[in-house]
Structure 1
Amino acid sequence: MGRLTGGDPAMLDLPRIGLAVSGGPDSLALMLLAHAAFPKAISVATVDHRLRPEAADEAAFVARLCVERGIPHTILTPDQPITGNLQSAAREARYQLLNDWADNQGLRWIATAHHADDQLETLLMRIARGSGIAGLSAIRESNGRIIRPLLGFTKAELVAVCQEQSVTPCEDPSNANLDFDRVQVRNWLKSAPPLLDAARIARTVTALRQSHEALEWMAARLEPERIAVNENRGATLDPSGLPPEIVRRLLIRALQSQNPQISPRGDTIDRALETLNAGGKLTIGDLVCTGGTLWHIEPAPPRKQNH
């Protein structure tokens, strides 16, 4: 989305935008830039996950900054304690709270402060995990109502925005926790030769995203002639003569024609493609897949009950 731009805010007829602001430099810069560009269109929410005692003070700090600028502000807290994989569970809780808040406030968009350095870190993490083209598209500019208008900004630029307005951000100690993959990647980048430029990487991510979208477009065009769905007998897929990446995407579409909730990971699809190409059989979730000239995907038979 590039740089935040405004003009005369009074002349703009904008939908109301929610900003997710934690008190760190990135999200504070998002708030400061958005307030300068669209002061009447924004509301701010701060999520206190109740995982750190300092978080309540950080939320109160953001609230004071909003009061000073006349920005509506809400502190959001989860109803239940966050357990399990803390990063994943906290992220899920955060987006649920933000979406509920946006619904209640009538907000069209929720803006987060992901920036170019986040994009670079995410790309490297996904390369390390063996992601395909979809994963390497990294952080997208929009996903449903979530928008990320700062992907064209570097971390240093956002820190400078806070300094220029004499706002001292909060520091989250989890940003130094080496148990997190992202922190390890961030520290590695600090010590690595300056060959990876966050702004230039954005062009690579854009090219990868466009490639992903082109392949999805082609798979959508081929789906009606290559996938046949029978409500009573599952689906069949004709993979003959197609490039492997197109077959991969059609297989996912065939699986989702039987179970829209299924979202197989890359290694699961790799194993499925190898098995089906060899004419074998495997189970993915609650679906049985059988290879051959045509591939068959159907619900697994009910398990026998032990009496």
Structure 2
Amino acid sequence: MSIAIGWRRAWSPTWQGRAPLPNAADTLTPDAGAVARFRGDLARLVEIDDVRLLVAVSGGPDSVALLLLAHAVLVDRCYAATVDHGIRSASADEAAFVARLCADRGIRHDILTGPLPARVGRTANLSARARALRYGLLERHMTCIGADRLATGHHADDQRETLVMRLNRGSGVAGLAGIRASGGRIVRPLLSWRRDDLAAIVHGCRIAAVDDPSNVDHRYDRARLRKALRDDTLLDVAGLVSSAGALADADDALGWTARQLFESDCSRDGQSIGFDIGNTPFELRRRVVERCLRAIDSGIEIRGEALVRFVRLLESGRPAMLGVVKGSVVDRGNAGIHWLFTLAPVRRGG
């Protein structure tokens, strides 16, 4: 996907509609206890004495709290960026608010802009396209400014919402691992923090953060779920966060095992890959088969449900197709069952 990048460093000192920020000389910082807690959380994810951290700041209380905490810990190794998607009329003013907030604290801040990616396939809803634009711009900006890691403001309440949504969709281990604390160059140091804790930090620093109307827009699944969970006292958030961490560890273990099985139990012969399935459990079979498919066709589009159907067909002894890759079953008697993956013959018209 090609994304054009633009950024600007200006802010609007005359923006109306927000409570005024304190003067630079009067800026307040989070209390020492919150800063110490954050330092510990961040140190578990990065080399805290060396890291150059880019903080993604939308202007909402979660990301503003993250910025305040990160700056308190890292000082001049903390940078900020705001992506102006251009979807809402207020987005430019919100980005300008963040720019002024950063200017008052001596934090480098850039506003990133670019065109939304085109609609592609079944997952090209507006939220997905905005997410693709956001992370594409932020990843490239990291390279431009020499940042090592990108930090986002996902927190414990986001994790709860994500887990409930994925439970409703029947997700497996990978999905129920929820939002990961780290992945690639992205870190999420606030996953043990509650939304109210973060709002209190922002309020304590006398900052009126942005209210994103999409957070209460009932056209979005997450907004409806957030409302339903608002007064819930049965789901223990700390317990859910802990369970998500345990499932993330389990997912990593399954991924590691699948890599070992791919190396030991799969063999390549020209354009074909064979898998000696033995008594491998289904979940590991599924993961090894996915590796085989990607090794045959690196550009294959694999959806979870389609992959499960593909593996189940092979388990029943029948051939299966996914994209342009064909899977077939070879019974080798005492040598066991062998699954063979090859590119399907090109169909000719006429």
Aligned to 1:40: 76
Alpha-carbon distance in 2 for matches of 1:155, 1:298? 50
Alpha-carbon distance in 2 for matches of 1:132, 1:178? 27
Aligned to 1:9: none
Aligned to 2:106: 70
Alpha-carbon distance in 2 for matches of 1:297, 1:30? 47
Report the identity percentage.
41
Q: Report SS of the residue matched to 1:39.
A: helix
TM-superposed deviation, 1:50: 0.2
Paired residue type of 1:141: A
Instruction: Write the deviation string for residues 152-182 of structure 1: whole angstroms up to 9, x where unpaired.
Output: 1111110111011011111111111112111
Alpha-carbon distance in 1 for matches of 2:304, 2:117? 31
Q: Report SS of the residue matched to 1:38.
A: helix
User: Do the aligned residues in 2 keep the contact of 1:47 with 1:77 (CA within 8 Å)?
Assistant: yes
User: Do the aligned residues in 1 keep the contact of 2:85 with 2:116 (CA within 8 Å)?
Assistant: no
Alpha-carbon distance in 2 for matches of 1:116, 1:79? 31
TM-superposed deviation, 1:191: 4.2
Aligned to 2:263: 224
Alpha-carbon distance in 2 for matches of 1:168, 1:197? 29
Instruction: Write the deviation string for residues 59-80 of structure 1: whole angstroms up to 9, x where unpaired.
Output: 0000000000000010011135
1:120 aligns with 2:156: no
Q: Report SS of the residue matched to 2:55.
A: strand
Aligned to 2:276: 238
1:301 aligns with 2:321: no
Q: Report SS of the residue matched to 1:75.
A: strand
Q: Report SS of the residue matched to 2:235.
A: coil
Task: Number of aligned residue pairs: give it.
Answer: 298
User: Do the aligned residues in 1 keep the contact of 2:277 with 2:285 (CA within 8 Å)?
Assistant: yes
Paired residue type of 2:277: P
User: Do the aligned residues in 2 keep the contact of 1:3 with 1:152 (CA within 8 Å)?
Assistant: no
Aligned to 1:163: 203
User: Do the aligned residues in 1 keep the contact of 2:81 with 2:109 (CA within 8 Å)?
Assistant: yes
TM-superposed deviation, 1:13: 4.2
Q: Report SS of the residue matched to 2:203.
A: helix
Aligned to 1:53: 89
Q: Which runs of 4+ in 1 moved over 6 A?
A: none
**Equivalent of residue 15 in structure 1, options 51, 58, 62:** 51
TM-score by length of 2: 0.81
TM-superposed deviation, 1:113: 0.4
- Give runs of aligned pairs for residues 1-307 of structure 1, distance below 5 A: 3-5=37-39, 13-80=49-116, 84-192=124-232, 194-232=233-271, 234-292=272-330, 293-306=337-350
Q: Alpha carbon RMSD of aligned pairs, Å?
A: 1.8
Paired residue type of 1:113: G
Q: 1:43 to 1:135 in 2, by over 3 A?
A: same
TM-superposed deviation, 1:51: 0.3
TM-superposed deviation, 1:16: 1.3
Alpha-carbon distance in 1 for matches of 2:270, 2:81? 45
Q: Report SS of the residue matched to 2:39.
A: coil
TM-superposed deviation, 1:240: 2.0
Alpha-carbon distance in 1 for matches of 2:117, 2:248? 36
TM-superposed deviation, 1:189: 0.8
Alpha-carbon distance in 2 for matches of 1:121, 1:231? 46
User: Do the aligned residues in 1 keep the contact of 2:177 with 2:248 (CA within 8 Å)?
Assistant: yes
Instruction: Write the deviation string for residues 63-118 of structure 1: whole angstroms up to 9, x where unpaired.
Output: 00000000001001113577651100000000001011111111111100000111
Q: Report SS of the residue matched to 1:52.
A: coil
Alpha-carbon distance in 2 for matches of 1:300, 1:271? 18
User: Do the aligned residues in 1 keep the contact of 2:328 with 2:341 (CA within 8 Å)?
Assistant: yes
User: Do the aligned residues in 2 keep the contact of 1:49 with 1:82 (CA within 8 Å)?
Assistant: no
Q: Report SS of the residue matched to 1:5.
A: helix
Unaligned runs of 5+ in 1: 7-11
Aligned to 2:32: none
TM-superposed deviation, 1:265: 2.2
- Further displaced range: 212-221 or 86-95: 212-221
- Further displaced range: 54-63 or 259-268: 259-268
